[in-house]
Chain A
Amino acid sequence: MTRGVKAYMGDLVPLFTLLALTLFFSAATKGALLSAMNLNNILNQSIPPIIAGLGMMFVVAMGATDISTGVVVALASYFACMAVTAAGFWAAFPAAILAGLCTGLLIGVINTRFKVPSFMITLSFVISVRALVTLMLGIQTLQIAKPLRDLFNGWAVRLSVLAGLVLIVVYVFNYTPLGMYAKAIGENENAVKYTGINVSKVKIAAFAISGVMAAIAGVFTAARVGGVSTTLGTSFEMKVMMGLFIGGIPVSGGMGTKVSKLIAGCLMITLLESGLVLLNVSGAITQGVRGLVLLAAVYFARVVSLSIHNRAEAR
């Protein structure tokens, strides 16, 4: 086995794990998992974490951390709903994206200009931005009107936005300097700096992309639940992060960061949540079972990729 093939096989491991989980649950649910309606659900439920993950991937690739995704979802959908009420239909995405962009830029600037670790900044955002949304929203009901909801929940928009974003991110991530720099920063930030690349700019851009993607995910989430509430997006960032890491993206970032892994990871999580319901696993224990299966899936993927690696090494 050549090294190229080995690397390729390594990338496929998350897909295998996904396949294994799918097979297990479809067998256990006697095929109900793969019913048209449930596939629709799984896709539906995976869209927000995948979109947010597409952005967070840039940050993770650099070895940095962004746990502000959940609160950006709330903030962006707040502004989206406000904009729709104030200006109309078309304003939802621009307003949300602007909110996400500003948050991301702010995080990036604080991180690069003031050298505050990204985990610390985003943690304080989690604490404060949630409170800010609560303050702004108060007791008002901010609804997304039905036509808009139908639009966002409709297959055409949902799939085309998802496909568009995936394509754009695959392009930026794999075929432009920005993506390469983000991954290179994860490998060795100093090496990037010493090749004359403006690392700060790359970092700010990465946080901004993460913010924008979280905002777009926020609009879809808001459309799904009909509007904004103060708890919208609670621990959403953890779901996205699980998707990334379960898919096999290294926590330290670098060249191992791949879009396919993110998608596989997010699908795995949704599949798990859906599959357990289909198995009639109910109540508080579901959460525990989910935790155990997640751990098992990661362990499984690791063992498999290790054995592929060893076999290739032995040849």
Chain B
Amino acid sequence: MKKSMKKRLSLLLAGLLALAASTGCVGGAEAPVNNDTAPQTSTGADAGQNPEPTATAPEGAGTYKIGINYMTSASYVLVTLRDNSVKVIELLGSNALPIDDDANPEKIMQDIENMIASSCDGVIAWMLVDQMFDPLSELCERGKVPFVLNDKVPEDPATISNIKANPYFAGAIGPANAVYGESVAEYALAKGWKTVLILSGDAADPTDTPRILAFRAKFEAGGGIVLNEAHAASTADIQPTIDNALVAYPEPDFIYATGPDYSNASCDSLYGKGWKTKVLSSGLDSTSLERLADPDSPMDFLNGDNWVAGAFSAIILMNELDGNPLLDANGDKVWYTDIMPFGVPSAQYDLFKKFFIDEFMFTAEELSKMRTAVNPDFNYDVFMDVVKNYSLEERLKARYAEGKITKAEMDAAGIAVN
């Protein structure tokens, strides 16, 4: 009896250890982590002396272990944002350590602490709400680890100046959330629609709230009427919430859903009702895009930037770690919250899928050029040009220039090329 128990126990433990070890290796398999035992390497100079630079990292550009926190593994939005950072880091020959925050604000701080303790050279930070930025900044300063703000950027002036004063602050980049909402409102007003149901998640979600506020301001100023703002308390509640709202407010002109989960639930709810109601949303996931391309689907408008902030923030951090921070004319770090969303017309869907979803939107070559250590011409202004010009068309043109897209395909997509 006791013997069999012991055997079972040891088997179980052995299995666990193997699992833990194997998953541990996955994280570090591509390049051994050099900084395991080394003290904090906070500047590029230190990291540059790294004894075993990997093949893809040229002279002067170090390899780093970079921590990325992301809210939850269960959201396409947040996972894509994470993956964009991870891909940039990996394409540049460094190692990413993405940590799941378990959808928990306390865990965000805990994860950052743990990243610092596990000798990450830099941190790509995603903070849930404004008040978390100050603690983050202090934490990284104490740990002497450079950090970049990814996607979420604070609005409070005091917080902003605190962060900018932090020597370990590398930059901040995020989408133009208000523009997301406004462009939906503009589109609807142009179509002459008057009534709307808004479907969103948590009633105080920091991403959705500015979008909704901007949308309401614009739409109501244009004479539109918001029938109801429906908030789902959890993912399981999304479907019933929109179902119920559509009983209470039947056949609105359109539904403004703030993200993929909500737009898809809205489409499902409208399915078979035979209403003229359309769905307008943000977030470029494949299901939404396929529905947009389908003339029978109520999905009518989508915008987004494919969560590119994740990629840009990684570039900012890599340059910072190389010892080549991106500084503007005043010597300030990147602080940009206006990444513009774009729409994906159905004619361009196939190309979008190929070059944004199946492949990465930047090539390794493009990325390596965005590193001053490799390409001395790269600087703040060049970077800002890349950011400001970023759009579906611009990206497709770049692929065209590389010969990956034919002229015929570009014409079919309605993009003029010379």
In the complex, A touching B (Cβ < 8 A): yes
Residues of chain A touching chain B, judged by Cβ–Cβ distance below 8 Å, are 24, 28-30, 32, 35, 37-38, 41, 44-45, 48, 130-131, 134-135, 137-139, 141-144, 146, 149, 153, 221, 224-236, 273-274, 276-287, 289, 292-293, 296, 299-300, 303, 307, 310
Complex A-B: 28 CB contacts under 8 Å: A28-B24, A29-B118, A30-B36, A32-B37, A45-B110, A134-B204, A138-B203, A153-B135, A225-B106, A225-B109, A225-B132, A226-B136, A227-B131, A229-B132, A231-B104, A273-B110, A282-B98, A282-B99, A282-B100, A283-B98, A286-B23, A287-B100, A292-B19, A293-B20, A296-B13, A296-B16, A299-B12, A303-B9
B118, A225: Cβ atoms closer than 8 Å: no
Cα separation A276 to B21 with both chains bound (whole Å):
10
B105, A229: Cβ atoms closer than 8 Å: yes
A226, B132: Cβ atoms closer than 8 Å: yes
B16, A225: Cβ atoms closer than 8 Å: no
Write the chain A residue with the least CB distance to B117. Answer: A38
Q: How far is the CB of A260 from chain B (nearest CB, A)?
A: 24
Q: Is B52 an interface residue when CB atoms closer than 8 A count as contact?
A: no
A233, B106: Cβ atoms closer than 8 Å: yes
Q: Is B114 an interface residue when CB atoms closer than 8 A count as contact?
A: yes
In the A-B complex, the 8 residue pairs with the closest CB atoms:
A227-B131, A284-B73, A280-B27, A277-B114, A226-B131, A38-B117, A226-B135, A143-B131
Say yes or no: A134-B73 contact (C-beta < 8 A), given A225-B132, A226-B133.
no
Contact partners of A281 in chain B: CB under 8 A? 20, 23-24, 27
B97, A45: Cβ atoms closer than 8 Å: no
Contact with A along B100-128 (1 / 0, CB 8 A): 10111110111101111111000000001
A131, B233: Cβ atoms closer than 8 Å: yes
Contact partners of B117 in chain A: CB under 8 A? 32, 35, 37-38, 41, 274, 277-278
B97, A277: Cβ atoms closer than 8 Å: yes
Q: Is B252 an interface residue when CB atoms closer than 8 A count as contact?
A: no
Interface of B is mostly: helix
B113, A45: Cβ atoms closer than 8 Å: yes
Cα separation A157 to B12 with both chains bound (whole Å):
42
Contact of A135 among B17, B100, B203 (CB under 8 A): B203
Cα separation A30 to B36 with both chains bound (whole Å):
8
Q: How far is the CB of B201 from chain A (nearest CB, A)?
A: 10
A229, B23: Cβ atoms closer than 8 Å: no
A226, B134: Cβ atoms closer than 8 Å: yes
Contact partners of B394 in chain A: CB under 8 A? none
Contact partners of A139 in chain B: CB under 8 A? 204, 209, 213
B130, A44: Cβ atoms closer than 8 Å: no
Q: How far is the CB of A183 from chain B (nearest CB, A)?
A: 30
Residues of chain B touching chain A, judged by Cβ–Cβ distance below 8 Å, are 2, 5-6, 9, 12-13, 16-17, 19-21, 23-24, 27-28, 33, 36-37, 73, 96-100, 102-106, 108-111, 113-119, 128-136, 138, 143, 156, 162, 202-204, 206, 209, 213, 233
Cα separation A16 to B118 with both chains bound (whole Å):
25
Q: How far is the CB of B163 from chain A (nearest CB, A)?
A: 12
Cα separation A296 to B51 with both chains bound (whole Å):
39
Besides A144-B131, A285-B23, A310-B2, 10 new A-B residue pairs in contact (Cβ under 8 A), listed by A number = A28-B21, A131-B233, A226-B134, A230-B203, A231-B103, A280-B28, A280-B118, A282-B99, A283-B100, A289-B23
Contact of B113 among A44, A138, A303 (CB under 8 A): A44
B204, A137: Cβ atoms closer than 8 Å: yes
Q: How far is the CB of B325 from chain A (nearest CB, A)?
A: 25
Contact partners of B131 in chain A: CB under 8 A? 141-144, 225-229
Contact partners of B5 in chain A: CB under 8 A? 303
A235, B118: Cβ atoms closer than 8 Å: no
Contact partners of B111 in chain A: CB under 8 A? 277
Say yes or no: A289-B204 contact (C-beta < 8 A), given A41-B113, A225-B109.
no
Write the chain A residue with the least CB distance to B120. Answer: A277
B129, A235: Cβ atoms closer than 8 Å: no
Cα separation A149 to B137 with both chains bound (whole Å):
13
Cα separation A201 to B68 with both chains bound (whole Å):
49
B114, A224: Cβ atoms closer than 8 Å: no
Q: How far is the CB of B22 from chain A (nearest CB, A)?
A: 9
A143, B202: Cβ atoms closer than 8 Å: no
Cα separation A296 to B27 with both chains bound (whole Å):
23
Contact partners of A28 in chain B: CB under 8 A? 20-21, 24
